[in-house]
Amino acid sequence: MKIGIDKIGFYAPHLFLDMNKLAVARDVDPAKYTIGIGQEKMAIAPITQDAVSLAANAALNILDDKDKEDIDFVIFGTESGIDHSKSAGVYIHDLLGLNPKARTIEVKQACYGATAGIQMAKGHIALHPKSKVLVLGADIARYGLNSGGEATQGAGAVAMVISADPRILALEDKSAYLTADIMDFWRPVYSDTAMVDGKLSNEKYISFFESVWEDYKVQSGFGLEDFTAICFHLPYTKMGQKALRAIYEQGTEEDKERLVANLEASKTYNKQVGNIYTGSLYLSLLSLLEQQEELQDGARIGLFSYGSGAVGEFFTGVLQPGYRKYLNTYDHEELLASRTELSVDAYETVFEDTLPADGSTVELEIESDPAKIALSGISGHMRHYVHKDKK
């Protein structure tokens, strides 16, 4: 039985910052951000968007009534959770009106969370072939104003329906994974910005990739010639280039050209959104599928997932016949094209406009946020969300 991605969608908040302007404000050569790091725009979440609402908006765009009935497992990968106890997925379950006969959980392992969700979903479908699983990856990447990681922030969510007989990507069974206790990136529970050793994280990312790639080759007998494309977790788009460079000499000149060209297509959306942590690999996959028109049915795509701390995994999928019909390319291009640009001053104001952490009541103005689902306030220590179409 084939199991894999039947539907995939994403959502990014309606505000963005031009990286050239951030560079000028930080007295940095703009080419460092746009070429050296590889980012053009950074998505910025207004106070009315958190990981829950971002994921709900991403899922809203792909689910039909049948999916809502069939989904019996919701797995939410995030490292921007809103509660130490209650799963962010339970809010989504209600906001989307899913069948109550479902399991719902939140999964955390830095940017690896959504991959853990996909692998769990695969096992669930193998046991229950009629089920569908909703896997979400949503995050707001915050390093801090003027920090070393500032140029690699972002916000957004990816939603995927995992099922039997998937219409987009069938996941193959071989998979190579690795865990090691490393302090390259973490966020203590008292901090709303991440701690990071940027150079160490780059180094570990590449060594994890090399290690799982070698393990995968031994397991599968495959080499670069068997891959049409390899998608990477992209904390910033240059990272994918660095990782691919570590292995592309193993193939022919033709393999190298193909993989480099497809990597370019897989960076298009990420360049305009920034880091969305758990969703980044899947945003990159979506970018490849929607922005590389020459990709053929039957193409094998490699996927490298890396969650600092650290867990890495390399696994693969095969594009299904007619997969292109099930993409929403126009909607995704529109979503990115219709965003509002913020000045650097306005970005700093939005960045510092955070929710109270002392339990006080707040009512938020949601009309200026075009998202269908938004955070409308907090009272009695509870977050309240509004689904504007259901008001």
Q: Give the residue ranges of the annotated binding site for substrate.
A: 148
Q: Smallest Cα–Cα separation from 205: which of 314, 77, 312?
A: 312
Active site residue 367: no
**Token pair belonging to 112:** 């690896």
Among 196, 301, 319, 375, binds ligand COA (CB under 6 A): 196
Annotated active-site residue 332? The verdict is no
CB contact at 8 A, 51 and 80: yes
Report helix, strand or coil for 379: strand
For residue 93, CA distances in Å to 42, 51, 222, 379 come to: 29, 14, 40, 21
Closest contact distance (angstroms) between CB of 240 and ligand COA is 11
Beta-carbon contacts of 139 under 8 Å, excluding residues fewer than 6 positions away, are 51, 54, 78, 79, 80, 111, 155, 156, 157, 275, 276, 277, 278, 279
C-alpha span between 78 and 283 (Å, rounded): 14
CB of 184 to ligand COA, least distance (A): 7
198 binds ligand COA (CB under 6 A): yes
What number of chain residues touch ligand COA (CB under 6 A)?
Answer: 21
The H or E element containing residue 157 is strand 154-164
Residue closest to ligand COA (Cβ)? 36
CA-nearest of 198, 17, 33, 55 to 140 is 55
Interaction of residue 180 with ligand COA, rule CB under 6 A: no
Of positions 112, 205, 248, 304, contacts ligand COA by CB under 6 A:
205
Q: Is 233 a catalytic residue?
A: yes
Tally Cβ neighbours within 10 Å of residue 284.
27
Task: Identify any residues that bridge with 307 across adjacent strands, giving them in sequence order.
Answer: 311
Q: Which stretch binds ligand COA (CB under 6 A): 6-14, 30-38, 91-99, 155-163?
A: 30-38
Q: How is residue 295 annotated by DSSP?
A: P
Minimum Å gap between C-beta 198 and ligand COA is 2
Q: Is 74 near ligand COA (CB under 6 A)? A: no
Q: Which of 49, 266, 284, 308: binder of ligand COA (CB under 6 A)?
A: 308
Q: Which of 104, 109, 201, 287 is the binder for ligand COA (CB under 6 A)?
A: 201
Minimum distance from residue 305 beta carbon to ligand COA (Å): 11
| Candidate segments 72-80, 146-154, 162-170, 342-350, binder of ligand COA by CB under 6 A | 146-154
Marked catalytic residue, from 14, 40, 93, 111: 111
Helix, strand or coil for residue 112?
coil
Q: Considering only 27-35, 101-109, 206-214, 332-340, which stretch makes contact with ligand COA by CB under 6 A?
A: 27-35
Contact 141, 277 (CB under 8 A): yes
Site string for ligand COA, 235-274 (x = CB under 6 A): xx-xx-----------------------------------
Residue ranges binding ligand COA (CB under 6 A): 29, 31-32, 35-37, 148-149, 151-152, 196, 198, 201-202, 205, 235-236, 238-239, 306, 308
